[in-house]
Amino acid sequence: MTAELTAHQLIDKHRPTLDQALETIRTRAYWSPHPEHPKAYGENGSLSAADGKAAFDALLGGRMDLGQPGTDDWVGGEVSPYGPALGITYPHADIDVLLTAMRAGMRAWRDAGAELRAATCLEILARISARTHEFAHAVMHTSGQAFMMAFQAGGPHAQDRGLEAVAYAYAEQSRTPGTAEWTKPQGKRDPLALTKQFTPVPRGIALVIGCNTFPTWNGYPGLFASLATGNAVLVKPHPRAVLPLALTVQVAREVLAEAGFDPNLVALAPERPGEGIAKTLAVRPEIKIIDYTGSTAFGDWLEANARQAQVYTEKAGVNTVVVESTDDYQGMLANLAFSLSLYSGQMCTTPQNLLIPRDGITTDAGHRTYDEVVADLAAAVSGLLGDDARANALLGALVNPDVKARLEAASGLGEVALPSREIGNPDFPDAVVRTPLIVKLDGAKPDDEAAYRSECFGPVSFAVAVDSAADAVELLRRTVRDKGAMTVGAYTTSEEVAQAVEEACLEECAQLSLNLTGGVYVNQTAAFSDFHGSGGNPAANSALCDGAFVANRFRVVEVRREN
């Protein structure tokens, strides 16, 4: 193949960005090459808001032909959580044909080397970035996120996580030199001398199993980590969130082809309703890596059964916030209210259990009883979401009927401190928009334990009365150990309590945010700086992104010769 994009062009264009990413994963300071503001787009080849919307609208009701081999059918039944059916169909694959085709280009991709692979991945990300406005609508109308969140989390933040994975992958592959001269002295005899070549080689075909709520943000780390380490990548999207990953695959195939590589190194595997193709694909011998975000049940199944593959899972967890004391009561309430409301609590990082001493807490506004704290938090949420337009912009829509059913059932779990409110969306009358429910539970009551010890995914939080700070820390510990947690938060002015919470997080391996009262929320993490998950508790077996996330996606083969 002749390449429209030469290796030199790609590397010249993207090496500075790669270097900055490599530097930032070491310093973990703030950095992003992907603008967060919608108005930053529309120049230098990127789609403006209007063009992005038009591009999205043009996709609706159409067939997205990716040019994949082995296409035996066209499938797709996405319905926006905001109401409209997308009406888009995608190529369904004859798996035997597609997997065979995907292997064909792997040798050339391997031989390209780590730097050119990284530059090619960065070109893919740059083109995705240029279409951020189009992706924003695609993410919004599959995940139910409000537009601004879909734009940011589905666009620049997801692209950051992809770039971060490329940087880690490049760093890991370049730790070993391409060649080495080894000369061992032998006293008076001639030294032993060998020339050694080291080549990073891929594992095989990687499978990315996408999720409904964050198709790009959760999909990009595994996709780009595997691709940058030389593997082919098959993307199995969630049936309700195909479009964002189909667009991603489309861009990847286009760039690979222009760079002279086989576009089949990246392919899409959407499924027919009820086909359950993930289970079939996951145990295929060609599949050597799996990245999965979703339920604990299927994540555990993958870990137990896809034994031929390296399996990276992000599953369910129960996130806890310890509320013990604060010197900024209003800031705490505002911060928590936002965390509970954002995307209707449908983030894997949203707090679920708020542990509050039953004797109340000390604040800068005086002592507050347990009931007062809960009431004040309920009021803060109500205030935040009092305006319907603002509520819609924060909440988005419930992603699927299961969340709605769970929310409705949850009000029966205990005394309702804040009922969930139905909100109308003037633009999308069919959208199911609900404010968060807060239920009071007693940490000492065995009947309540079943509720707060299970993940209740959606806009549901439990204000759990505990005996003391020590009791809260002990419950935090048990919850993380047994159920896992993507995030832990704590509010305390006591150095002793802070240390106890910190020690619990260190021992149970959970990421902790302490005393957040401003514009950073416990449920948000920033690429290059924050780890998403720890990989050390039951919520996830890997963290985004670290050395362990990339190091086993390739192996190094050594060829040594005498000089």
Q: What does the binding site for a second copy look like in residue numbers (CB under 8 A)?
A: 25-30, 107, 110, 172, 175-177, 180-186, 192, 194, 196, 198-199, 201, 203, 303-304, 307, 502-503, 505-507, 509-520, 526, 529-531, 534-536, 543, 546-548, 551-552, 555-562
CA–CA dist 222, 393 (Å, integer): 29
Query: Could you tell me the smallest distance in angstroms from the CB atom of residue 174 to a second copy?
Result: 10
Kindly tell me which of 46 and 525 has the beta carbon lying closer to a second copy.
525
Residues contacting residue 115 through CB under 8 Å, at least 6 positions apart? 11, 15, 170, 174
Kindly tell me which of 29 and 274 has the beta carbon lying closer to a second copy.
29
Kindly tell me which of 6 and 499 has the beta carbon lying closer to a second copy.
499
The residues with which 532 forms a beta bridge, in sequence order, are 544
Kindly tell me which of 54 and 548 has the beta carbon lying closer to a second copy.
548
> What are the two backbone dihedrals, phi and then psi, of residue 434, each rounded to the nearest 5 degrees?
-135, 140
Query: Could you tell me the smallest distance in angstroms from the CB atom of residue 182 to a second copy?
Result: 5
> What are the two backbone dihedrals, phi and then psi, of residue 241, each rounded to the nearest 5 degrees?
-140, 60
Kindly tell me which of 409 and 470 has the beta carbon lying closer to a second copy.
470
Query: Could you tell me the smallest distance in angstroms from the CB atom of residue 145 to a second copy?
Result: 21
For 177, 192, 291, 561, the CA distances from 185, given in Å and listed in that order, are: 22, 7, 46, 17
Query: Could you tell me the smallest distance in angstroms from the CB atom of residue 33 to a second copy?
Result: 14
Task: Check: CB of residue 324 under 8 Å from CB of residue 514.
Answer: no
Q: Give the residue from 410, 379, 74, 105 showing the smallest Cα distance to 231.
A: 105
Enclosing H/E stretch for 51:
helix 49-59
Query: Could you tell me the smallest distance in angstroms from the CB atom of residue 19 to a second copy?
Result: 16
Query: Could you tell me the smallest distance in angstroms from the CB atom of residue 408 to a second copy?
Result: 35
Give the amino acid at 37.
H
Query: Could you tell me the smallest distance in angstroms from the CB atom of residue 489 to a second copy?
Result: 10
Query: Could you tell me the smallest distance in angstroms from the CB atom of residue 183 to a second copy?
Result: 6
Kindly tell me which of 212 and 515 has the beta carbon lying closer to a second copy.
515
Kindly tell me which of 422 and 562 has the beta carbon lying closer to a second copy.
562
Kindly tell me which of 236 and 315 has the beta carbon lying closer to a second copy.
315
Tell me how far apart the 2 most distant CA atoms of the chain are, in Å: 88
Enclosing H/E stretch for 225:
helix 220-228
For 358, 424, 459, the CA distances from 430, given in Å and listed in that order, are: 41, 9, 18
Cα dihedral value 33, 35, 41, 43, nearest 10: -40
Give the amino acid at 497.
V
Task: Check: CB of residue 234 under 8 Å from CB of residue 135.
Answer: no
CA–CA dist 559, 421 (Å, integer): 66
Kindly tell me which of 176 and 468 has the beta carbon lying closer to a second copy.
176
Kindly tell me which of 401 and 518 has the beta carbon lying closer to a second copy.
518
Query: Could you tell me the smallest distance in angstroms from the CB atom of residue 394 to a second copy?
Result: 18
DSSP 8-state symbol, 303: H
Kindly tell me which of 335 and 400 has the beta carbon lying closer to a second copy.
335
For 55, 156, 385, the CA distances from 49, given in Å and listed in that order, are: 10, 15, 26
Query: Could you tell me the smallest distance in angstroms from the CB atom of residue 505 to a second copy?
Result: 6
Kindly tell me which of 180 and 450 has the beta carbon lying closer to a second copy.
180
Task: Check: CB of residue 150 under 8 Å from CB of residue 139.
Answer: yes
* Per-residue exposure over 527-538, b if at least 16 CB sit within 10 Å of its own CB, e if not: bbbeebbbbbbb
DSSP 8-state symbol, 175: T
Enclosing H/E stretch for 181:
strand 179-186
SS (H, E, C) 487-516: CEEEECCCHHHHHHHHHHHHHHCCCEEECC
Centre a 10 Å sphere on the Cβ of residue 43 and count the other Cβ atoms it contains.
7
Centre a 10 Å sphere on the Cβ of residue 507 and count the other Cβ atoms it contains.
12
Query: Could you tell me the smallest distance in angstroms from the CB atom of residue 532 to a second copy?
Result: 10
Residue with the two structure tokens 């070993």? 176
Query: Could you tell me the smallest distance in angstroms from the CB atom of residue 338 to a second copy?
Result: 13
CA–CA dist 235, 178 (Å, integer): 31
